């Protein structure tokens, strides 16, 4: 069954939603084969697979290229494209045009946009023009320079109130779901109960309606330190290094290729 934004939204209160990032046809197909209902082509790809220090340098062309690849690998999962830094901030028209590219050129099903009340108008016009939107508040990495680091958001009651207003604005504007990144678990639960659309948490506690993790983090692929909210469901970094070293030593010793590997 092909997932749609409205089918995903209808899971709220019925079934917790497991979302994961995917960056190409290979990882999209893996998530799809695992029965994951929604994959996010996160601009985290700038850091996880393109080698940038932050998500800020990621371009529309890079995101379209990777999203198109994910779409080619996925049959059933909802494919959500992350709108990169400065693809929607400059104007409503820029946001509409760039979001449209993801559906027209990359076969995405929806887009994700960082920001709360400030994005209300954009979210509303995207939805009215046929583009489903996933919101994203709390820690928003495209604002890392302004936020002053990757820190938990909404710790003070004033910040928590602001996040509640932002969450409500995103729902009012017509988003089908909302990513909550790095907020206290109690606030994650409060926001989830206040909204009629599902919340997808990352570092936002178990009270959210779903969770999202970066694929390379959950698979333990990078070998680098990860934030506390990450769980390694596999330790692929060590396994891949072991495999590559075994290959190297067999090539060097002449044991690979063996009789069964030759024509």
Q: Which of 99, 123, 126, 214 binds ligand KIV (CB under 6 A)?
A: 214
Residue in the shown chain whose Cβ atom is closest to ligand KIV: 42
Q: Of 105, 146, 181, 260, which is the active-site residue?
A: 181
Q: Are strands 177-181 and 199-202 parallel, antiparallel or unpaired?
A: parallel
Residue 27 binds ligand KIV, judged by CB under 6 A: no
Residue 123 binds ligand KIV, judged by CB under 6 A: no
Rg (CA), the chain: 20
Residue 131 binds ligand KIV, judged by CB under 6 A: no
Least gap, CB of 94 to ligand KIV (angstroms)? 20
- Look at residue 202 and give the partner it binds from ligand KIV, Na ion, none, a contact being a CB closer than 5 to 8 Å depending on partner kind: ligand KIV
Instruction: Give the count of beta carbons closer than 10 Å to the beta carbon of residue 62.
Output: 16
Q: Which of 82, 166, 189, 209 binds Na ion (CB under 5 A)?
A: 82
Cα 239 from Cα 178, distance rounded (Å): 35
Please say whether the beta carbons of 224 and 230 come within 8 A.
Answer: no
Question: Is 124 a residue of the active site?
Answer: no
In a 3-state reduction of DSSP, which class is residue 215?
helix
The answer to whether the annotation marks 14 as part of a ligand binding site is no
Residues 176-195, mask of contacts with ligand KIV (x by CB under 6 A): ---x-x--------------
Quickly list H helices, the chain. Answer: 5-9, 25-33, 45-48, 60-73, 92-106, 120-128, 144-147, 157-173, 185-194, 215-218, 236-253
Least gap, CB of 139 to Na ion (angstroms)? 10
In the complex, the residues that contact Na ion under the rule CB under 5 A are 42-43, 82
């Amino acid at each position: 069954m092909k997932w749609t934004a409205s089918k995903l939204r209808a899971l709220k209160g019925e079934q917790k939603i497991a979302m994961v990032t995917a960056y190409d046809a290979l990882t999209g197909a893996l998530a799809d084969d695992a029965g994951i209902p929604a994959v996010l082509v996160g601009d985290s790809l700038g850091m996880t697979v393109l080698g940038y220090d932050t998500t800020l340098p990621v371009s529309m062309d890079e995101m379209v290229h990777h999203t198109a690849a994910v779409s080619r690998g996925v049959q059933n999962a909802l494919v959500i494209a992350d709108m990169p830094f400065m693809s929607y901030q400059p104007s409503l028209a820029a946001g509409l045009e760039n979001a449209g590219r993801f559906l027209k050129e990359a076969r995405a099903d929806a887009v994700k946009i960082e920001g709360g009340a400030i994005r209300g108008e954009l979210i509303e016009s995207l939805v009215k023009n046929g583009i489903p939107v996933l919101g994203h508040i709390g820690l928003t990495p495209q604002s890392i320079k302004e936020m002053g680091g990757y820190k938990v958001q909404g710790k003070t009651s004033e910040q928590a109130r602001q996040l509640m207003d932002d969450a409500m604005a995103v729902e009012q504007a017509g988003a089908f779901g909302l990513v909550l990144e790095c907020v206290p678990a109690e606030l994650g639960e409060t926001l989830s109960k206040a909204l009629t659309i599902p919340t997808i948490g990352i570092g936002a506690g178990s009270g959210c309606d779903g969770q999202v993790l970066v694929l390379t983090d959950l698979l333990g692929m990078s070998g680098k330190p990860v934030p506390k909210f990450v769980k390694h469901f596999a330790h692929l970094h060590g396994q891949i290094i072991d495999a590559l070293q075994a290959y190297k030593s067999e090539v060097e010793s002449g044991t690979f290729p063996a009789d069964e590997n030759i024509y």
